Amino acid sequence: MRVLIEMRKRAPLLIALIVALPLEIANFSLAGFPIDTGLEPDTSWYEKVIAYQNLYLHIPGWLLISRMQDSQIQKVGNPILFVSGYLDTAILIFASLLLFRWWQCRSRGTTGKVS
């Protein structure tokens, strides 16, 4: 019984880590960064949303890369960006799951009462 309680407490973290991996693979391989030239003026709104969320999720990686020398960037630049985006995505999913769980517990507590 104690093992089930511990598993239930860790479930949101495990779910977040598992779900974030394919999301980050798709995000990293399909979405581009609007860093150098920006986006075209006629870019559709959903392409802008994808590009900017990709940029903001990888800010820790960009900050780390900005402190490296050029020879180091070519070796570890992409892995750093991938890992920083993966961790940020996992944290975002984990926070969403905890918020949903809190909201669910709160609504259960208020719906059963008769005024």
pLDDT by residue for the chain (115 residues), tens only, comes to 565 556 566 688 888 889 889 988 887 777 656 555 667 778 788 777 777 777 777 788 878 877 777 767 667 777 888 888 889 889 989 999 889 888 888 887 754 444 4
Its pTM surpasses 0.75: no
Tokens of 73: 């960037």
- Numbers of helices and strands, H then E, in the chain: 4, 0
pLDDT at site 13:
85
pLDDT at site 39:
72
Q: End-to-end distance of the chain based on CA atoms, in angstroms?
A: 36
Other CB atoms closer than 10 Å to residue 115's CB: what's the count? 2
